[in-house]
Amino acid sequence: MKYVVCIPDGCADLPVPELDGRTPLEVANTPHLDALAARATVGRAQVIPEGMPPGSDVGNMSIFGFDPSQFHTGRAPIEAAALGLSLDTNQIAFRCNLVSIENNIMVDYAGGSPSSDSAAVVIDRLNNELGSDEISFHSGVSFRHSVVAPSDWVEASCVPPHDLTGDALILPSGPGSEALIDIMEESKRVLAESSLEATQIWLWGQGFMPQMPSFFDLYKKTAGLVTAVDLLRGIATLTGIEVCDIPGATGQCDTDYEGKRDIALRRLQEGMDLFIIHVEATDEAGHAGDVEAKVQALENWDKRILKDLIPGLDDLGPWRMLMLPDHATPLTTRTHNSNPVPYLMVDSQDDGIGGVFTENGVADHPLVKGHSLLPELLRN
């Protein structure tokens, strides 16, 4: 049996006025996804446990089969793990966004989405000019980077920049906040002398490095992942899941859908048991409030991944698939929420009762815990 987990990041939504009160999942032309749903078990999952922040860190930990209420310590240390960083017990990691701010308004939480190479030059300069024995800057992908800092800043209250899009800034508060604000303010000088659109850095998502069990030890399956997002790479690194890189994975709407499909099929053919395909495009479109891009990203999933993924899996033998987003990213609010999300689970050898993979299509289904779905997928 082969297993595939498909994560259309943030694809769940609320009714959109521009779509006549429908959601992108209801509007998108997705014949292959619809055919899967018609033979699958569909339902409604709470991927964000009650009381936890509705971030991709929490949601994807659930999808990977780990209870976030047990293992989650913060977003940034997971991303730090993806960069190969190890933290001492007296150290924490912060997520470091390159952002664009004008007149005290968060204009772009992604700082113009710079290339990773151009961003790395700026992060290196920030480290040289603002780093110290206690503070260090580490480059990641595009606008997403990491800062290692003293553990006594862990209680600072920091608002995610994507929660402030179009709004006035809410600066860090609490223990360590003065130092954080100083670093963010000092970064303006470095960014002003760069070629990037970003105007400064934004620090948030801090935490200690989590201690997580091996995926193989827990589930007795070998597993791989393709993504452009350090957050998911970090969860994989912490749990021993193989991270498979492809050149065209961008974390944006122009990502290489076919490349992600092909690496999944190749690694499964080579003997891997389970493969996770993650696409960030729907989440980015939601944050941007770009209705057309979110619908297009869903249609790309259908025609550029699922269309050939399904017959490719059939050629390998029996298979099962789980598809669900890590959270909703509504176009109308441009940020994550904790709403339940639709899921589908299909077994090539045993059709489910069938249904519709939309928010309304699963509205009356019983609510299940997100971290319970992967164990269900792997049941004997």
The mean of the pLDDT values for the chain is 96
Q: What is the pLDDT of residue 318?
A: 98
Q: What is the pLDDT of residue 20?
A: 98
**Cβ(325)–Cβ(8) below 8 Å:** yes
Angle, helix 291-300 to helix 281-288, in steps of 10 degrees: 170
What does each C-alpha distance from 191 to 21, 123, 202, 206, 358 come to in angstroms? Answer: 41, 10, 12, 22, 42
pLDDT class for 252, splitting at 50, 70, 90?
confident
Average pLDDT over residues 314-323: 98
User: Given a cut of 90, is residue 230 above it in pLDDT?
Assistant: no
Spans of all domains in the chain? 2-71+211-377, 79-207
**Rounded to the nearest 5°, which phi and psi values hold at 216?**
-65, -40
Q: What is the pLDDT of residues 166-210, one digit of tens each?
A: 999 999 999 999 999 999 999 999 999 999 999 999 999 999 999
How many CB atoms are located within 10 Å of the residue 132 CB?
A: 8
CA distance 345 to 182: 48
**Is domain 2-71+211-377 in CATH 3.40.720.10, yes or no?**
yes
CA distance 137 to 76: 12
Q: What is the pLDDT of residue 141?
A: 86
CA distance 299 to 60: 22
What does each C-alpha distance from 89 to 149, 207, 230, 360 come to in angstroms? Answer: 11, 11, 22, 46
Q: What is the pLDDT of residues 64-116, one digit of tens each?
A: 999 999 999 998 999 999 999 999 999 999 999 999 999 999 999 999 999 99
* Nearest by Cα to 199 from 184, 210, 212: 184
**Rounded to the nearest 5°, which phi and psi values hold at 225?**
-145, 140
Q: What is the pLDDT of residues 136-150, one digit of tens each?
A: 999 998 999 999 999
Q: Specify the pTM.
A: 0.88
* Nearest by Cα to 334 from 103, 166, 145: 166
Three-state SS sequence of the chain? CEEEEEEECCEECCCEHHHCCECHHHHCCCHHHHHHHHCCEEEEEECCCCCCCCCHHHHHHHHCCCCHHHHCCCHHHHHHHHCCCCCCCCEEEEEEEEEEEECCEEEECCCCCCCHHHHHHHHHHHHHHHCCCCCEEEEEECCEEEEEEEHHHCCCECCCHHHCECCECCCCECCCHHHHHHHHHHHHHHHHCCCCCCCEEEEEEEECCCCCCCHHHHHCCCEEEECCCHHHHHHHHHHCCEECCCCCCCCCCCCCHHHHHHHHHHHHHCCCCEEEEEECHHHHHHHHCCHHHHHHHHHHHHHHHHHHHHHHHHHHCCEEEEECCCCECCCCCCCCECCCEEEEEEECCECCCCCCCCCHHHCCCCEEEHHHHHHHHCCC
Give the torsion sign (CA, 187, 189, 190, 191). positive
Dig out the tokens for 302 from the structure: 């259908």
Q: Which residues contact 291 (CB under 8 A, 6 or more apart)?
A: 16, 18, 19, 24, 285, 331
Percent of the chain's residues with pLDDT above 70: 100
User: Given a cut of 90, is residue 380 above it in pLDDT?
Assistant: no
What does each C-alpha distance from 120 to 140, 149, 200, 229, 368 come to in angstroms? Answer: 7, 19, 14, 16, 41
Q: What is the pLDDT of residue 251?
A: 86
HSE value, Cβ hemisphere, 13 Å, CA-based, for 318: 8
